[in-house]
């Protein structure tokens, strides 16, 4: 593992931002017919953060970017590309990455969004590997940010208890010591797109009084179906990526699964035969913040000093599209 003669990219900075406002399960009991007990038992979520009305996802992403740059000891001038993964952009166009670029004053570099649901952060890492190892870019700011509470249907107890707002980021550059991204697996299946989607607001169903009245601008999800696919695909993705890295399940130190539901997280851990202490979860604090879950987990583990030299991490995600991916990483 980590053969020094193979070129890799590595993470040289982590950080995240969540809004201050906390919405607990008890708060939700006052909004829809639900209970703290149901939400905790079925999802593992106790509370989530909610952005204020005047905020857009770029505001969260800009905060996360400043924190990440500071943690990496870098200035804006040191990065040469911004990739923003999000499903809740400020505007359909321009991209949220351009709003972030404006906020950071990063006028010297290109910026664009990727849309791959909750898998967007891992898609971004894979893309960054290609860009850096081909010599196109040297140091990329990759952000995963989501302001899901603005596309949440607060009358639908099936979905409104699940989501929160957050942004996480990393700095990616070429590794000089053999550590970094060892392998990846990525896949999509557009046949299942309408099991988790925001029906209106694009060119299929543009905004009309009717689309608004029917709540078609809110996220819709067939939770049961998504659940089954997520467990199957995340397990598969992690195993394929591990095989590509030439590693066994026993060699994994941390699994960082996308934080959608504690039962999906635990099932993925079992599929990899991992003891619970190797399966990271913070869903109780933030709920499902989609594309931001993995960079937040990376930062929390990094800051807690859990990553030592050669620590093997498997990042694993599933989301709208459907899309799914896994990345095996050696710290
Ligand atoms: N409070 C109380 N009862 C509820 C609530 C609620 N908030 N939500 C649903 N129920 C009820 C349902 O109405 C249903 O009642 P019924 O049997 O009388 O019809 C019952 O609870 C069971 O509902 P299910 O949908 O079968 O519950 P399930 O155990 O599947 O849990 C959940 C639902 C939490 C949504 C689960 O399916 C899930 O987590 N799915 C995957 C979600 C996911 O991963 N999404 C995101 C992936 S991609 C991304 O992150 C954007």
Q: Whose CA is nearest to atom 35 of ligand 1?
A: 223
pLDDT-derived band at 6, boundaries 50, 70, 90: confident
> For residues 304 and 202, what is the distance between their CA atoms, to the nearest angstrom?
41
Q: Which tens digit of pLDDT belongs to each residue from 289-302?
A: 999 999 999 999 99
227 in contact with ligand 1, CB cutoff 6 A? yes
Q: Domain 9-177: state its class.
A: alpha beta
- What are the sequence ranges of the domains in the chain? 9-177, 181-330
Q: Give the CATH architecture of domain 181-330.
A: 3-Layer(aba) Sandwich (3.40)
Pocket test of ligand 1: the residue of 34, 45, 219, 224 to mutate, having most ligand atoms within 8 Å of its CB, is 224
pLDDT-derived band at 3, boundaries 50, 70, 90: low
Residue 234 token pair? 């995340």
> For residues 142 and 74, what is the distance between their CA atoms, to the nearest angstrom?
14
160 in contact with ligand 1, CB cutoff 6 A? no
Distance of CA 159 from the midpoint of ligand 1 (Å): 7
Q: Which tens digit of pLDDT belongs to each residue from 262-275?
A: 999 999 999 999 99
Residues 13-41 as b/e (b if ≥16 CB within 10 A, e otherwise) read bbbbbbbeeebebeebbeeeebebeebee
Q: Which position has the higher pLDDT, 3 or 257? A: 257
Helix (H, G, I), strand (E, B) or coil at 224: helix
42 in contact with ligand 1, CB cutoff 6 A? yes
264 in contact with ligand 1, CB cutoff 6 A? yes
Q: Which atom of ligand 1 is nearest to the CA of 224?
A: 37
Pocket test of ligand 1: the residue of 38, 87, 158, 260 to mutate, having most ligand atoms within 8 Å of its CB, is 158
111 in contact with ligand 1, CB cutoff 6 A? no
Whether 139 shows a pLDDT value over 80: the answer reads: yes
- Spell out the SS3 assignment of 71-83: HHCCCHHHCCEEE
Verdict on whether the full-model pTM lies above 0.75: yes
18 in contact with ligand 1, CB cutoff 6 A? no
List residues with catalytic annotation.
118, 258, 288
Residue 49 CA, chain-centre distance (Å), reads 15
290 in contact with ligand 1, CB cutoff 6 A? yes
The pLDDT mean for the chain works out to: 97
| CA-CA-CA-CA dihedral for 282, 287, 290, 295, to nearest 10 | -30
Distance of CA 38 from the midpoint of ligand 1 (Å): 10
Identical fold for domains 9-177 and 181-330, yes or no, is yes
CA distances from 87 to 7, 219, 289 (A): 31, 10, 11
Q: Which tens digit of pLDDT belongs to each residue from 73-130?
A: 999 999 999 999 999 999 999 999 999 999 999 999 999 999 999 999 999 999 999 9
In the DSSP assignment, the letter for residue 226 is: H
Task: Count the helix, strand and coil residues of the chain and give each as a percent rounded to the nearest 5.
Answer: 40, 25, 35
Distance of CA 247 from the midpoint of ligand 1 (Å): 35
Question: No. of H helices and E strands in the chain?
Answer: 11, 13
Q: Whose CA is nearest to atom 50 of ligand 1?
A: 290
Whether 247 shows a pLDDT value over 70: the answer reads: yes
């Amino acid at each position: 593992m980590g053969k020094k003669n193979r070129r890799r990219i590595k993470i040289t900075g982590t950080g995240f931002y969540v809004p201050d406002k906390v919405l607990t399960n008890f708060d939700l009991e006052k909004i829809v017919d639900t209970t703290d007990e149901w939400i905790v038992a079925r999802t593992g979520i106790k509370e989530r953060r909610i952005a204020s009305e005047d905020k857009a996802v770029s505001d969260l992403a800009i905060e996360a970017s400043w924190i990440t740059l500071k943690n990496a000891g870098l200035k804006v001038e040191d990065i040469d590309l911004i990739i923003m993964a999000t499903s809740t952009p400020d505007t359909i166009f321009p991209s949220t990455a351009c709003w972030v670029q404006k906020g950071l004053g990063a006028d010297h570099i290109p910026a664009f969004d990727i849309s791959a649901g909750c898998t967007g952060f891992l898609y971004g890492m894979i893309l960054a590997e290609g860009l850096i190892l081909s010599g196109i870019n040297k140091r990329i700011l990759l952000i995963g940010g989501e302001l899901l509470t603005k596309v949440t249907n607060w009358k639908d107890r099936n979905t409104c208890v699940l989501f929160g707002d957050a942004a996480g980021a990393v700095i990616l550059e070429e590794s000089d010591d053999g550590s970094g991204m060892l392998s990846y697996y990525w896949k999509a299946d557009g046949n299942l797109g309408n099991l988790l989607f925001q029906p209106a607001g694009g060119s299929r169903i543009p905004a009309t009084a009717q689309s608004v009245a029917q709540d078609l601008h809110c996220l819709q999800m067939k939770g049961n179906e998504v659940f089954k696919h997520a467990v199957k695909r995340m397990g598969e993705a992690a195993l394929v990526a591990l095989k590509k890295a030439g590693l066994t399940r026993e060699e994994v130190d941390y699994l960082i699964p996308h934080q959608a539901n504690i039962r999906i997280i635990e099932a993925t851990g079992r599929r990899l035969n991992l003891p619970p202490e190797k399966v990271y979860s913070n869903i109780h604090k933030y709920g499902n913040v989609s594309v931001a879950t993995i960079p937040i987990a990376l930062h929390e583990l990094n800051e807690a000093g859990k990553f030592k030299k050669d620590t093997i991490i498997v990042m694993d995600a599933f989301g709208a599209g459907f899309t799914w991916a896994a990345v095996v990483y050696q710290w």
